[in-house]
Amino acid sequence: MAILITLLLGAAIIAFTLLWPHWRRYQRQKIMAQPFKAAWRDILKQRLPYFRALPADLQLQLKKHIQVFIAEKQFIGCDGLTVTDEMRVTIAAQACLLLLNRPDYYYPKLKQILLYPSAFVVHGSSADAAGVMHEQRRVLSGESWGQGKVVLSWADTLDGAANPTDGRNVVIHEFAHQLDQEKGVANGAPLLARSSDYQQWSGVMAAEFAALQQQAALRQTSLFDHYGATNPAEFFAVISEVFFEQPDALAQQHPGLYQQLSQFYRLNPLSW
């Protein structure tokens, strides 16, 4: 009897593993077949100026992505914040901008978005060169966790959405980290379409990262926020912000970098 139960349990697990992707795809198709809510459309028009600049096919694709994203991800208000549809749609639209032309892909490891009214405080500790531990208190507008969570400030989310051309967008930044974290620890090398792409990606990214580090050390102005010189993971998130919000300047000043990001994101914002 015990052997039979074990065999049946194993068969059930195998069946679930094989059928789950098809069931999930079916459920997503049902969600996308539903009309996009008029109230959500009004939120897009009010809160996301860049939406009107997208080609019609990408607008439609983005709306379908928003529907699935909101259905699958849990939004949790923190510090007394009550989550509204305005918050869900505003965040989902910016997060899903990174998913255009990626069919049936919705940040598979992400489960929850934690939302604070404004910048939040994170306490931690780190060791200095001598090995002495120091307590740290950081005020953040966003943070991406490898445990399936993204933390955002609603005030900073609104600021980032309101100005789509300043190269600063906390939602794009943190969800770029999510793409980078899909394979494990974020290191500035997200999953690329082909293994052969990594050599060119690494060459371009390493040269541009080193240049930004030098500019930051000399306090020289740059198209990129000097925070991107912290490490390769932050560099990838910072240049992703610029790719979506300042594509003209990026293509002119850093054509090789623009080409790599355009290939990775499967988009050409210059044509918008």
- Tell me: the pLDDT tens digits for 189-219? 999 989 999 999 999 999 999 999 999 999 9
Strand order in the sheet with 149-153: 74-77, 112-116, 149-153, 142-145
pLDDT at 21 over 50: yes
Domain 187-272 has CATH 3.40.1830.10: no
> pLDDT per residue over 98-126, tens digit each?
999 998 889 999 999 999 999 888 765 55
Q: What pTM did the predictor assign?
A: 0.87
Confidence of residue 4 (pLDDT cuts 50, 70, 90): low
| Per-residue model confidence (pLDDT) at position 19 | 55
Numbered ranges of CATH 3.40.390.10 in the chain: 187-272
Report pLDDT for 17.
Answer: 52
CATH 1.10.472.150 domain residues, the chain: 34-128+140-162
What local confidence, expressed as pLDDT, does residue 6 receive? 55
Fold of 34-128+140-162: Cyclin A; domain 1 (1.10.472)
For residue 15, pLDDT over 80 is answered with no
143 alpha-carbon distance from chain centroid: 11
Mean pLDDT, residues 51-73: 95
